[in-house]
Amino acid sequence: MAFPKNFLWGGAVAANQCEGAYQEDGKGWSTQDVTPRGIVGPRTEEPTPDNMKLVGIDFYHRYQEDIKLFAEMGFKVFRTSIAWSRIFPKGDEEEPNEKGLKFYDDLFDECLRYGMEPLVTISHYETPLHLSKTYDGWVNRKMIGFYEKYVRVIFARYGSKVKYWLTFNEINSVLHQPFLSGGIFTEKEKLSPQDLYQAVHHEFVASALATKIAHEMMPEAKVGCMILSMPTYPLSPSPDDVIKVMESVHKNDFFGDVHVRGYYPGYMKRYFRENGIRIRMEPGDEEILKHTVDFVSFSYYMSVCDTADPAKQIQGQGNLMGGVPNPYLEASEWGWQIDPQGLRYVLNYYWDRYQKPLFIVENGLGAVDVPVERADGTKTVEDDYRIDYLRKHLLQVEEAIEDGVDVMGYTSWGCIDLVSASTAELKKRYGFIYVDRNDDGTGTLERYKKKSFYWYKDVIATNGEKLHE
């Protein structure tokens, strides 16, 4: 049997996409509270009622019911994030918000009650809005200090409950989505590569500092980086295309390389040199970067192609990064190209490159679900398409394990329906659990088990054997 006995099966969410309660118990506003259309629409001055995230799926009040359902599926791990603005509502105050801290105490206790390990993302696309507006987010070096204060508080508070930590969700996306990912208030068009790479440097230092502090304060803790992985294939075998792909892949590898190796790679130094970018480092930064991660985590949804031919440089639909569409692949309803083998490829690629344990912390299919009524009057969704997607991807995880890759676990994205990050819709559903809420705000918020719920439960119970049925 390929999956190791201690394989961490589970599911993943992020605070801003499910909790709601956007200003309850002292929470401050975050960047998510002013982006009712995700990355596809303008931000607003203040939270507006059309913003689905303000209520989310009301996880803040219903987490006990939801954790119970996850436990019923047999989850060994549950990935969620802490909303920074619940702990430090503005981000730059001296004292944390006790009620915010209490919420996560209760949430983690609930997970542990069922023997489920919390896997916690420290910053998942929700910078406190005050830090974004006042300091311009991560372009400002002061963010390192605010982040350090925040991590010291949460490590001290949850150190005995949480073993697995991720420093920044999809850290590489800041180059593409500076406001969503880095809380950078200045419009993307006005930001130079210098600004963006300086922001990246600040996040690197903050991430390494958090890793150092975590290891000092919680000797048992395991800290990972989190990368948006998207294998890039050459559109043709032309050496020009192959080199173009190598260069675009380097731009992504930069993030894992610094986190795992602890220094800036030569290919980036060349890029900076040739593009007039000078990263401002302070004495001690290079030393801090040497505090490298214990494992590498990543999201995987799709692959793309790249080409050196400008005429073929068509930007396909896709997640926060996108790329040239692959003529061999089909796509989801949202245009994300489906490539299960890409997951085996990326697992082998990272393993060959880093020799660090890998954790797939996001993977899944966003689709429109149609609830149906069973004979007994209860509701469900016959989501065979989701089962098919997940099964094909998990079989590739198994292949990678056979290849010798050290895979710690797999947390399927949006294990319960939640609000999409890119488009802020609820109709783009990923869950094993259906949530009765619609994009016009109607719905009872009741939860129903989809067909995939029972399937995933069997997958976990058989440690993957079910995948071969």
Shortest Cβ 322–ligand BG6 spacing (Å): 12
Among 259, 428, 429, 437, the residue binding ligand BG6 under the rule CB under 6 A is 428
Q: Which of 19, 110, 362, 399 is catalytic?
A: 362
Shortest Cβ 467–ligand BG6 spacing (Å): 23
Under the criterion CB under 6 A, does residue 127 sit at the interface with ligand BG6? no
Contacts (CB under 6 A) with ligand BG6, residues 186-225: none
Reply yes or no on whether 247 is catalytic: no
Q: Closest residue (Cβ) to ligand BG6?
A: 422
Under the criterion CB under 6 A, does residue 369 sit at the interface with ligand BG6? no
Under the criterion CB under 6 A, does residue 366 sit at the interface with ligand BG6? yes
Reply yes or no on whether 126 is catalytic: no
Among 7, 9, 11, 14, the residue binding ligand BG6 under the rule CB under 6 A is 14
If the CB atoms of residues 69 and 171 are measured against ligand BG6, the closer one turns out to be 171
**45-53, 63-71, 235-243, 414-422 -> range binding ligand BG6 (CB under 6 A):** 414-422
C-alpha to C-alpha distance for 329 and 315, rounded to whole angstroms: 15
The tokens 């997958």 sit on which residue? 459
Angle at 250 between CA 248 and CA 254, to 5 degrees: 130
Contacts (CB under 6 A) with ligand BG6, residues 298-337: 299, 319-320
* Residue spans of alpha helices (H) in 159-289: 178-182, 193-217, 239-261, 266-274, 285-288
Residues with Cβ within 8 Å of 355's Cβ and at least 6 positions away in sequence, in order, are none
Q: Which of 110, 117, 126, 170 is catalytic?
A: 170
> Cα–Cα distances in Å, from 133 out to 20, 24, 43, 138, 377?
22, 21, 12, 11, 50
The one-character DSSP state at 442 is -
The answer to whether 99 and 142 are in contact (CB under 8 A) is no
If the CB atoms of residues 44 and 317 are measured against ligand BG6, the closer one turns out to be 317
Residue 315 tokens, joined? 């930007």
C-alpha to C-alpha distance for 301 and 430, rounded to whole angstroms: 12
**What angle, 0 to 180 degrees and rounded to 10, lies between the N-to-C axes of helices 340-354 and 384-402?**
30
Under the criterion CB under 6 A, does residue 19 sit at the interface with ligand BG6? no
C-alpha to C-alpha distance for 325 and 345, rounded to whole angstroms: 18
Strand bridging mode 447-449 / 433-435: antiparallel
Shortest Cβ 361–ligand BG6 spacing (Å): 9
Under the criterion CB under 6 A, does residue 135 sit at the interface with ligand BG6? no
**211-219, 308-316, 417-425, 434-442 -> range binding ligand BG6 (CB under 6 A):** 417-425
Q: Name the residues that contact ligand BG6, by CB under 6 A.
A: 14, 17, 125, 169-170, 228, 299, 319-320, 362, 366, 413, 420-423, 428
Give the residue numbers annotated as catalytic, written as ranges. Answer: 170, 362
